[in-house]
A and B are shown apart, each in its own frame.
Chain A
Amino acid sequence: NAGVTQTPKFQVLKTGQSMTLQCAQDMNHEYMSWYRQDPGMGLRLIHYSVGAGITDQGEVPNGYNVSRSTTEDFPLRLLSAAPSQTSVYFCASTSGNSPLHFGNGTRLTVT
């Protein structure tokens, strides 16, 4: 099993550019989420989804959009990148009482 796959692994954007971070899982998990990891801040929840067609905001949703058209995919969109969005982004999934399964992250730099 591939588990949770995130692409790309690295990305550099200029301020104002847009992009989509991809996340796919092959475990048929209904719950998927996006976190950002910043030094000294831990992991902060951006958006999450409890199933296809259902999304909700987490702790730091501003500047990010998500959609969940299929069980497998949960892309994160940055509409107009800002330097404050420089971070490492993690996608995670789970189902039932299993723990969160994380991808290996996307390191994003906004200049």
Chain B
Amino acid sequence: QQQVKQSPQSLIVQKGGISIINCAYENTAFDYFPWYQQFPGKGPALLIAIRPDVSEKKEGRFTISFNKSAKQFSLHIMDSQPGDSATYFCAASSGYSSASKIIFGSGTRLSIRP
């Protein structure tokens, strides 16, 4: 079963636009929600993460919005740039320790058109 559902599978956005990727989870024990960014031929790398005690976290052009009651969280990329073209994975885990098993979403391939 897929514990973290991610949509859309692919997304095309014009340069300067807003990219939005959505995720939903089922396990209410999850308390750490990272987003990973992956470029072709590379491994994923942490982009931004949030814990459920806040509803929003912003780092530069990247923002996570978190809705605990709906068990949903989303990534917003403002002023999207061609360099943002990559595959994005949402993830969730219970506990922030290194031994936690992180469950990944299915990924979104984002393309930013110049």
In angstroms, Cα B100 to Cα A50, docked, is 10
Contacts of B97 in A (CB 8 A): 96-97
In angstroms, Cα B99 to Cα A31, docked, is 6
Are A58 and B98 CB-contacts (below 8 A) given A90-B44, A102-B43?
A: no
Contacts of B41 in A (CB 8 A): 104-105
Is A42 part of the contact surface with B, judged by Cβ < 8 Å? yes
Contacts of A45 in B (CB 8 A): 101-102
Is B61 part of the contact surface with A, judged by Cβ < 8 Å? no
Is A60 part of the contact surface with B, judged by Cβ < 8 Å? no
Contacts of A104 in B (CB 8 A): 41-43
Count of A residues near B, CB < 8 Å?
27
Q: Which of A42, A92, A99 contacts B89 (CB 8 A)?
A: A42
Contacts of A97 in B (CB 8 A): 96-98
Is A41 part of the contact surface with B, judged by Cβ < 8 Å? yes
Residue in chain B with minimal CB distance to A93: B98
Are A42 and B104 CB-contacts (below 8 A) given A95-B98, A98-B98?
A: yes
A29:B98 contact, CB within 8 angstroms: yes
Listed in ascending order, the chain A residues whose CB lies under 8 Å from chain B are 4, 29-31, 35, 40-45, 48, 50, 58, 90, 92, 94-100, 102-105
